[in-house]
Structure 1
Amino acid sequence: MYPTVALSLTVCMFIACSSACSTSCVCIKDKATCRTPDPSGLVLSEHIREVVLQDLNASLLTNNTFSANSQWSQIETLEIWANGGESLGSRVFTGLSGLTYLGYHNEHMFYMEYDAFYGLDHLKELDFSTNIRLQTMSFLISMYSKNLPRLNKLTLTGLHSYYVETINADYNFFQSIAGLDIQRNITYLDISNVTFGEFNFQAFIQNGLCDSVHKVYLRYATFLNIQGYVAEETCSSLEVLDISDSLLPNIMLDFTISKIDFLCRLTMFYFNIEELYINGLGKYMMTPPLQDDRDGDLSSCPYKMRKLSLENNLIKRLNYTVKLHNDTQKTMEWISLAGNILEFISPLFLSPSFNLKYLDLSSNQLHKMQEHYEDMFELLIQNNTKLNVLKLNRNGIARIPSNMFLTNTELEVLDLSDNNLSSLDFNIGRLTNLKVLNLSYNAISYIDAQTRDTMEQLAAATNSHKLRIDLSNMPYICSCDDNHMETIQWIHRNLDTFITSPREDYMCTLQDERLYIFQNALEKTKSYCRVQRVKRDLAISLSIVCVFLLIGIAVFLKIQGIRRRQRERKNLLSQIEVGEFPKKFLAFLSFSSDDAELVVNTILPRLNSELQLKTGTSRVLVCSGDRHFRPGYALGEEIIRCIEDSAVTILAVSKNFCQKEWCRKEVQETYDQNKPIVLLLLERVEPDEMGKVLRKLFSRYAHASWISDSNGGHMEPDWSILCDALLDLTVEQSEKNTFKLKWLNWFSS
């Protein structure tokens, strides 16, 4: 099998191309590509119609090179890349009578004979690009002849561009192109990447080129001087003009870009132009163009413009209302403002072009308009209801207004990629003609349920075509959050339906690990979430168990404490009843002598009797200075003794009490002995009137009050509660003393 195939291929190659040993040719269908310094020895098969000659030595070309072999008369397309020879000889293309396209490129050629193009009577397209050393006059002389009568397309890119010298596109220049004795029907002219010392528009018209030329390309050119750019007649045939990335004189830059409201008669030359490309001119200006706020009235200028490209011109603002001619409003279909520094575009700038189908605003700074003028940003394309393509990519936009695309129901391509969108909360439900929605390279970490439903409905509604949505290269998060998990599952499920882009461009982050969504992201996320769910359930269970355990312990300790206190209280009552209570008194009542009548005659006897009822004893349980201080002993010593002999101290506080020196000493002594203290307010006393210690006790502990009434007064809370509090405080103090004693014994042992 293999030898047969190899033999067939060899025969095929031999039939297609045959040459001398020094020549290597490759033939594909009807095209032959050969590397040879001299093509005279080539033998081509009958079906070859297109030939590319590489590494040709131009000095070896003669008038017999192609004429000696009749096979060359069948060639229709010839591309020559020469690397030798400084001139192009006389009648070197003789024999190529069937040629319709000739491309000749020789960076070393200085000169060509006037009749070099002899015999190319059927040639329609001549590509003479990259002949960077060729003398312009030498080429023009060859074009003056009657040769190339049927030439339509002429490309002179880079002509004579190697030198500092300039080309003058004057009357003689355009006359040679149009033909001196024959009027060529030139429809396409490309003279890009050259330096013009002069460029004369009037000469272009006078030589009849405005009756034939449809397309003129002057890209990457330098114009030192322009003559006749204000013409008083329309170039009737000119449809496409491209002067992108060229350097124009200052007056021409100002005329072309900045002054749109010039008089119509000054622009008559351009009335029939349908496509105008003036990209990259602004980079040569000191200040960005089109920043003023004036209106331009072009309603009397019958432009036929369909395409307008103003890319890479450093345009910052288009706060401009343009009034267009009725015909221009209807014809304008394509506008590109990409690659500028646009921060603001007035909706009134675009609204006259109601038939606009293509709008490219990519690579600008429209996030500033979205941030500061969101209401106007929302209305930007409201009037352009026939838009098919809208590009807003690479603008740093953080949010699309909800109703921005409400009227653009004919949109087929919407590019919002390379922005800072963090959510997709704008309305796209009406875009039923949409074919491409590019949202890649934004800041979206998940897609909410409503947006997912809208996209699915939109994909289902586009019955006549297939919707492709690019959601790649987003900072998706693989987590157990419902939104994140559902987003990953949804993307995975819809890859083969409407989600597009290479699979490797869809990644998500799981615990600082980057995962491919269409490989193992979903599996790993589910596994991770199962582990997290078990941990969470375990943590919740343990927490509940711990809470109930702590509650049980607290309840148990509370019950034990209540029972223990009941036992201690019962034991206390028993001790008091049988006379075994270690203290002489249950309470020491401290009061001011100014309050003695109330305290001694009313409060003291009632308190003592209430305590006796609680404890079931007849002994005196309340100590007071007037009754129990020993005569002849120092007051200080008696205060200390009585406080030590009592379990609890009751301070009968009044304004007089706060002012008495001995009362303050009793308070301080009780505080120093760390005894339980109960405040009994005999009247309203402001905290500022109390001493430091008394004020601290007042703000920290609850107190009792004696309330005067028509019955001689009563206690709040009542006597029973007060007595219970005194007994409970006595029990707590006893427990503290017992605990302290145990710790002291333990440390001493």
Structure 2
Amino acid sequence: MNLSNLLMFKCKIIEISKFALKPLSSLEFLDLSRNWLYNTVLFESTSELGLSNIKVLNISDNPIYELSDKFNFWKNVWFRNLREIIIQRGDIKKCDFHALSRIEKLRKLDLSGNRIETISPYNFSYLEILDLSNNKLVLLPDTCSKKMFSQTNFYPALKVFHLQNNRISFTLALNIIGSCLKNLTTLDISFNPIRMMFYFAIVNCTNLEILRMDHLLGPIELYDFAFASFNLKELYLGNNVMGYMEGFNFTTILMFNPTLLVLHLTNIDLSHVNLTSMLFNLENLTELSIVHCKVENISPLLGFPLLSVLNLSFNYIQKLDSRSFQGLTNVKLVSFQSNRITSLEQSSFPNFIWESSEIIFDFSSNPFDCGCHLEWFKEWMKRNKNRTFGHLYKCNTPKEWNNQSILYLDTRECHMPSQFLILSFTIIGFISLFIFSIIIVRRLRWYSKCYIYDRKNKKLLMPPRNNQTEFLYDGFVSYNTRDRKWIMSELIEKIERKHEYKLCLHERDIIPGEIYVDEILKCIDCSRKFLLILSNNFMDDQWCLFETEIANHALASGKGDTLFLILLEDINSQYITRSLRTLLNSVAHAEWTTNKSGLKLFWKNVLKFMDET
């Protein structure tokens, strides 16, 4: 039989006979993922097979509990020509690569999404891609064996190494990895609780081009010259929580990186860092992304003739000066999304940036103060619709234009002939309105106010509830970031780690870069429950009040059983609004206390709410 590709994924297969696959001598690609095939079944079904041309085997999402010599179906000659093995989301805890010793020309091995804690290495001379992400590794895996006068490299051809989302905290072995994996070009250790990076930590990785250390879990200590490398081209560095990566001298940390092309920094406090000094030695940068880093001021970005992407979204920038961007002669994308910019002037950027048809702008989600001074920008957006996201540029002030697009800004009053004519028309209008009667005036006034209120609040409508029976999260948690300590030490510790519920936190689970309001609504829609953590900090936060309005709409829609309020403290009377009083009177809630008996009752009520379907 000349069949070359056979896909039998998600077929509920539990048994394969010994001779079922024997006629497939020309088979090159076999996908048996998402079935119920145990090690013993695979061992028996391939025991009678001879040599074949199979190159790729995917047995992901099967109950495979070990990779060892026990029931080792990999020793069958049928698999000898394999180039790629994919065993994702199995249940492997211990992994012995000796089991794959007969597959001499293996190029790619994907064991992501298992529960691997330890690995016994083996020499794979041709292995180029190794994916161990989403496992439970505590230490960096051994990549070579050193004896007194010799060294054995287990993966001499390895180019791409995925280790993200494990439990790795120590990186001392990075120097060893560098001396063993001479061909390594990509290393991903994101989503790990890494504690420190020493001096010249990756200098031995002579061919390393891409290093990903973003979304780190917990505090980290960075030493000077930690990322020094004469070959590194892309560096992604950041933490999941603001405050865990601050107080470092990034000027010296990034000093010896002359070949760096792409730099992404996320959730790092750079409020007191001079960007010009920090980036002084990175003259070859083509892409710079500094997101959620508390940047307030932009010092002149000089000496970056190759920079094509500049992303400074989700910072504290209020004003832009063209002198900061004079040197960006090759820029193609400029993003200042979700900063504190209230106005844009022609002097904010050099003329060549405004005039170039190839440059894309993103200033969405900034609190623009709309008035005559923005008329030029409104007209510029109309002429350059393909260069910006005009419908996302909303007014914050004045009140009557709140949440309205700048594209529809009414600037007719900016061109009134004279104050005398304005006064004349005002008097005539007042007399006319008076003649038509006070009743009509009042009706028109309330109609106008009602119209403005409806337009202002149109985004607060509750999205349609997810119809699926399974949710991505057990609960969405609405809280103020100043209450983060209680969230992490009490709520997460009790609900997630002890009772294994999956909660959605906006700081941790919403990835920067998307429209924040839309992402909040999506997360609420994908959550089974909705918890509001009330405090005076919460009631003083505009985003928290926005989420409170969503909760009120859910209550009005008959979904009050999905809501739960936690009161961290007594709420000041100035914050007791009609909406909050309605929630407190209609929705189950619990008050936080440090009293031992009260604390026991508190968690009993919270867990009872989470248990309800």
TM-score range, shorter chain: 0.5 to 0.7
Query: Given that residues 208 and 232 in structure 2 are in contact (C-alpha distance below 8 angstroms), is that contact kept between their aligned partners in structure 1?
Result: yes
Counterpart of 1:526 in structure 2: which amino acid? Answer: R
Q: Structure 1 residue 228: deviation in Å? A: 5.0
Q: What corresponds to 1:223 in structure 2?
A: 137
What SS is found at the alignment partner of 2:196? Answer: coil
Distance 2:51 2:324 in 1: 61
Pick which of 131-140 and 426-435 moved more: 131-140
Question: What is the rounded CA distance, in whole Å, between the counterparts of 2:55 and 2:317 in structure 1?
Answer: 52
Per the alignment, residue 338 of structure 1 pairs with 238
Is the helix fraction higher in 1 or 2? 1
Q: In the alignment, what sits opposite 1:458?
A: 353
Deviations 1:391-411 (A, max 9, x none): 11222322212x1x2111211
Partner of 1:444: 341
Separation (CA, whole Å) in 1 of partners of 2:19 and 2:83: 21
Give the AA of the match of 1:231. S
AA of the residue aligned to 1:196: I
Q: Which of 120-129 and 309-318 deviates more?
A: 309-318
**Cα distance change on mapping 1:148 and 1:346 into 2, 3 Å:** same
User: Do structure 1's residue 166 and structure 2's residue 86 form an aligned pair?
Assistant: no
Distance 2:34 2:69 in 1: 14
1:159-238 superposed matches below 5 A: 159=90, 161=91, 166-171=93-98, 173-175=99-101, 178=103, 184-196=104-116, 198-201=118-121, 204-205=122-123, 209=124, 211-223=125-137, 228=142, 231-232=145-146, 233=151, 234=153, 235-238=155-158
The one-letter amino acid of 1:360's match is H
How much has 1:174 moved relative to structure 2? Answer: 3.4
Query: SS of the counterpart of 2:72?
Result: helix
State the Cα distance separating 1:515 from its structure 2 match: 6.2
Shift of 1:151: 1.4
The aligned counterpart of 1:108 is 36
Pair 348,151 (structure 1): closer, same or farther in 2 beyond 3 Å: same
Q: Structure 1 pair 323/439, CA: closer, same or farther in 2 (3 Å)? A: closer
1:469 matched residue in structure 2 = 361
Deviations 1:586-644 (A, max 9, x none): xxxxxxxxxxxxxxxxxxxxxxxxxxxxxxxxxxxxxxxxxxxxxxxxxxxxxxxxxxx
Q: Report matched runs for 1:473-622 at 5 Å.
A: 473-480=365-372, 483-496=373-386, 499-501=387-389, 503-509=390-396, 510-514=398-402, 516-517=404-405, 521-522=408-409, 524-527=410-413, 530=416
CA contact (8 A) 1:77 1:101 kept: yes
Distance 1:446 1:226 in 2: 49
Aligned partner (choices 156, 159, 173) of residue 239 of structure 1: 159
% of aligned pairs identical?
A: 16
Counting matched residue pairs gives: 413
- Give the Cα separation in 1 of the matches to 2:219 and 2:422: 55
| CA distance 1:508–1:138, change in 2 (3 Å) | same
The one-letter amino acid of 1:351's match is M
Equivalent residue for 1:387?
285
In structure 2, the CA distance between the partners of 1:302 and 1:279, relative to structure 1 (3 Å rule), is closer
- The alignment status of 1:313 with 2:216, answered yes or no, reads yes
Distance 1:272 1:515, change over 3 A: closer
Query: 1:107 and 1:443 mapped to 2: Cα distance?
Result: 52
**Residues in 2 aligned to 1:527 and 1:77: alpha-carbon distance in whole angstroms:** 70
Cα shift at 1:119 = 6.5
C-alpha change, 1:324 and 1:381, in structure 2 (3 Å) is: closer
Q: Does structure 2 conserve the Cα–Cα contact (< 8 Å) formed by 1:166 and 1:195?
A: yes
The separation in 1 between residues aligned to 2:94 and 2:201, in whole angstroms, is 37
1:488-546 Cα offsets, whole Å, 9 max, x none, are 333333324xx322x42122255433465475x23x332587499668656999xxxxx
The 2-side partners of 1:297 and 1:170 are apart by 27
After superposition, give the CA deviation of every residue in 1:308-329 in whole Å (9 maximum; x if it has no partner). Answer: 111122465665322888xx41
Query: How has the CA–CA distance of structure 1 residues 116 and 514 changed in structure 2, closer, same or farther, with 3 Å as cutoff?
Result: farther
- Residue in structure 2 matched with residue 20 of structure 1 by the alignment: none
Give TM-score, length-normalised by structure 1: 0.50
* Aligned match of 2:5: 77
Rounded to whole Å, the distance in 1 between the matches of 2:17 and 2:179 is 43
Deviation at 1:475, TM superposition (A): 2.1
Aligned counterpart, 2:319: 423
Is the partner of 2:109 in helix, strand or coil? strand
Q: Secondary structure at the match of 2:361?
A: strand
Within 1, Cα distance between the matches of 2:279 and 2:15?
57
The amino acid that maps onto 2:188 is Y
Distance 2:94 2:352 in 1: 61
Equivalent in the alignment of 2:86: 155
| Residue number in structure 2 paired with 1:289 | 195
Tell me: CA distance 1:518–1:449, structure 2 relative to 1, closer, same or farther (3 Å): closer
CA-CA distance at 1:135 after TM superposition: 6.2
Q: 1:99–1:512: structure 2 CA closer, same or farther, 3 Å change rule?
A: farther
Indicate if the aligned counterparts of 2:68 and 2:95 stay in contact, CA closer than 8 A. no
Aligned with 2:63 (options 132, 137, 156): 132
Whole-Å separation in 2 of the counterparts to 1:436 and 1:190:
35
Deviation for aligned residue 1:134: 6.1
Q: Is residue 347 of structure 1 aligned with residue 251 of structure 2?
A: yes
Correspondence for 2:484: none
SS at match of 2:9: strand
In structure 1, distance between residues paired with 2:254 and 2:374: 39
Deviations 1:353-393 (A, max 9, x none): 1110111102x133xx33xx344x33111111111111112
Tell me which residue corresponds to 1:650. Answer: none
Instruction: Determine the structure 2 residue equivalent to 1:7.
Output: none
Consecutive unaligned residues of structure 2, counting only runs of 5 or more, are 428-613
Shift of 1:345: 4.6
Aligned to 1:30: none
Q: Is the CA contact (8 Å cut-off) linking 1:445 and 1:484 kept in structure 2?
A: no
Whether contact under 8 Å (1:92, 1:116) holds in the other structure is no
Does the alignment pair 1:99 with 2:10? no
Q: What does residue 186 of structure 2 align with?
A: 275
Change (3 A) 1:279 1:434: same
Distance in 2 (alpha carbons) for counterparts of 1:297 and 1:108: 44
Q: 1:491, 1:290 → 2: CA distance?
A: 46
Q: Relative contact order, CA 8 A, sep 6+: which one is greater? A: 2
Q: Distance in 2 between matches of 1:117 and 1:428?
A: 69
Matching residue's letter, 1:408: F
User: RMSD between aligned alpha carbons?
Assistant: 3.5
- Amino acid in structure 2 at the alignment position of 1:152: R
What are the superposed Cα offsets for residues 188-239 of structure 1, whole Å, 9 maximum, x if unpaired? 11111223353123xx12xxx0x10011000111237888566323442111
Change (3 A) 1:195 1:528: same
State whether residues 157 and 181 of structure 2, in contact with CA within 8 Å, keep that contact through their aligned partners in structure 1. Answer: no
1:108-167 Cα deviation digits (max 9, x unpaired)? 2222225269477222211111113566569963210111332111111123x1xxx733
Q: What is the SS of the residue equivalent to 1:231?
A: strand
User: For the structure 1 residues 314 and 167, does the alpha-carbon distance in structure 2 shift closer, same or farther, using more than 3 Å as the test?
Assistant: closer
Q: Deviations along 1:665-694, whole A, 9 cap, x unmatched?
A: xxxxxxxxxxxxxxxxxxxxxxxxxxxxxx
What SS does structure 2 have at the residue aligned with 1:473?
coil
2:5–2:27 Cα contact (<8 Å) kept: yes
Range 136-145 or range 432-441, more displaced: 136-145
